[in-house]
């Protein structure tokens, strides 16, 4: 299963004993099992997310002018929640706004958008027939001519897992990479060597040789203002921010054994039955990092190329619970309530890792338990899947690259 983008986080308390669930449910990001009831017959014909929840500016829009209106609207039914976050100068901040009395529209408190910012919209709504749906969109605003900015992961003051990689994505092509690389410093306390690696001309990642030590404070200094990143194109930002590394949690998914072993600070917390990718839609092997955490999200196979011969989506699930993104290409680890006979037994998903859950998401299910004890930046490693190793630039997959090769990706020689 492959799905699309965004950011969130959740921390939880440690569990002392080894827990094992003998659950029975399968799936992944809308990944249906062979022989189960077709999704359409369970949900009816679910409307497309853009028909239920309409967001302006459009998803994926770039160079949006600051006077464009930001609106979230449903033609019928009601909006349950709307969360809008602005990322600017390597810092995230909520965008205040309100839902109208009739529940149909959300609009921000201020009409003008910020320049050189990325906006993320997460909305949940119920349509006129009572069907719950979720939509996640992003857009970026206009950057003044001849300027470039870097969008940084993670955000300021975050508490993250030990596998977090500092990733800077630029809004323009960088041709003078050495100059830009020198203008970004990533340091740690306690001190550890941190090295950069370029992925193409638009992304620069930083990591140490091994996972961060718990308790490490990492500082990122962007000194891009007036640095020439390409002929006649100069940086805009001059900003310092930091984040803290929390406890260590690394989870090992064995696709052949249909289990996930969760380790916290080296001790086994639980062994959980899972389902991974089916033989024709296998799950990537390798180390993946939790990039975002969503209480509920919609997953539609058509958005990532899973279509039937008639062109319709292979799956469309409007309320996937406890969803944690692992790759840019759409691999998730998430809760599943619609395929009851696969956990610990067989792999049936479209490439994701599925944990047993209930409709709406339960706190006492394996998926709810794991979600409540996870952080953005935690590591999930998949082994024994009949697929290739995830690419280092697919999400925060840089841990799959050896240290020598990683260091060779620097533009500063």
352 belongs to the catalytic site: yes
Omega of the bond leading into 25 within 30 degrees of 0 (cis): no
> Are 32 and 351 within 8 A, CB to CB?
no
322 belongs to the catalytic site: no
Point out the catalytic residue in the list 136, 334, 350, 384: 334
Omega of the bond leading into 190 within 30 degrees of 0 (cis): yes
Q: How far is Cα 361 from Cα 359, in angstroms, rounded to an integer?
A: 5
Kindly tell me the burial class for residue 226, based on how many C-beta atoms sit within 10 Å of its own C-beta (0-12, 13-18, 19 or more).
exposed
CB contact set of 11 (below 8 Å; sequence gap of 6+): 159, 246, 373, 374, 375
Pairing outcome for strands 159-160 and 238-245: parallel
Strand order in the sheet with 379-383: 19-20, 267-273, 259-264, 249-254, 379-383, 286-289
Q: Give the catalytic positions in this structure.
A: 334, 352
């Amino acid at each position: 299963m492959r799905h699309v983008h965004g950011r969130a986080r959740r921390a939880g308390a440690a569990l002392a004993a080894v827990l094992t669930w003998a659950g029975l449910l399968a799936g992944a990001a809308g990944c249906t099992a062979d022989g189960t009831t077709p999704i359409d017959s369970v949900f009816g014909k679910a409307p497309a997310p853009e028909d239920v929840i309409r967001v302006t500016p459009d998803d994926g829009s770039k160079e949006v002018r600051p006077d464009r209106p930001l609106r979230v609207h449903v033609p019928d039914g009601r909006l349950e929640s709307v969360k809008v976050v602005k990322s600017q100068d390597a810092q995230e901040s909520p965008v205040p706004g309100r839902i109208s009395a009739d529940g149909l529209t959300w609009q921000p408190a201020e009409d003008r958008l910020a320049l050189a910012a990325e906006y993320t919209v997460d909305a949940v709504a119920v349509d006129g027939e009572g069907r719950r749906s979720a939509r996640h969109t992003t857009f970026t605003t206009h950057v003044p001519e001849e300027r470039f900015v870097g969008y940084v992961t993670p955000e300021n003051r975050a508490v993250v897992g030990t596998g977090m990689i500092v990733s800077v994505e630029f809004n323009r092509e960088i041709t003078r990479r050495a100059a830009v690389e020198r203008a970004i410093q990533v340091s740690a306390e306690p001190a550890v060597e941190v090295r950069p690696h370029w992925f193409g001309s638009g992304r620069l990642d930083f990591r140490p040789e091994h996972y961060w030590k718990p308790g490490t404070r990492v500082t990122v200094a962007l000194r891009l203002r007036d640095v020439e990143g390409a002929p006649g194109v100069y940086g805009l930002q001059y900003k310092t921010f930091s984040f803290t590394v929390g406890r260590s949690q690394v989870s090992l998914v064995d696709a052949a054994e249909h289990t996930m072993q969760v380790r916290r600070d080296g001790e086994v917390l639980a062994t959980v039955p899972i389902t991974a990718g089916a033989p024709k839609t296998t799950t990537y092997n390798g180390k993946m990092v939790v990039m975002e955490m969503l209480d509920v999200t919609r997953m539609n196979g058509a958005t990532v190329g899973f279509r039937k011969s008639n062109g319709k989506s292979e799956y469309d699930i409007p309320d996937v619970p406890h969803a944690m993104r692992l790759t840019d290409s759409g691999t998730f680890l998430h809760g599943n309530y619609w395929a009851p006979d696969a956990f610990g037994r067989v792999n049936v998903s479209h490439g994701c890792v599925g944990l047993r859950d209930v409709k709406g998401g339960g706190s006492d299910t394996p998926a709810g338990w794991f979600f409540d004890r996870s952080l953005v930046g935690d590591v999930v490693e998949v082994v024994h899947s009949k697929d290739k190793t995830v690419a280092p630039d697919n999400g925060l997959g840089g841990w799959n690259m050896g240290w020598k090769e990683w260091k060779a990706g620097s533009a500063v020689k």
